[in-house]
């Protein structure tokens, strides 16, 4: 068993994240976190505030990555 300083929230989080990754793998850990971390944004409201973008504009944004 790992010794953890329970008075140090940073250490608790680091050890907990490592335990999750060990048990679930990297992708499983991320999925677990997505289910249990509170969301601070409102996607439903934000999606209507986003401008429409064409496929050509998206291609131009990512063209420099090739």
Is the distance from CB of 4 to CB of 11 less than 8 angstroms?
Answer: yes
Is the distance from CB of 4 to CB of 15 less than 8 angstroms?
Answer: yes
Q: Domain locations in the chain?
A: 9-65
Angstrom CA distances, 48 to 40, 44, 45, 51, stand at 17, 7, 6, 8
- Between CA 63 and CA 7 the distance in angstroms is 49
Measured over the CA atoms of residue 25, residue 31, residue 35 and residue 38, the dihedral's sign is positive
- Three-class SS of residue 8? coil
* pTM (global) more than 0.75: no
Q: Residue-wise pLDDT tens for the chain (66 aa)?
A: 778 899 998 999 999 999 999 999 999 998 898 887 776 777 777 778 777 888 888 888 888 776
């Amino acid at each position: 068993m790992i010794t953890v300083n329970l008075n140090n929230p940073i250490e608790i989080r680091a050890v907990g994240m490592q335990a999750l990754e060990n048990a679930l793998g990297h992708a499983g850990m991320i999925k677990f976190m997505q289910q249990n971390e509170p969301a601070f944004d409102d996607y439903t409201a934000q999606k209507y505030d986003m401008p429409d973008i064409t496929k050509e504009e998206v291609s131009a944004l990512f063209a420099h990555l090739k």
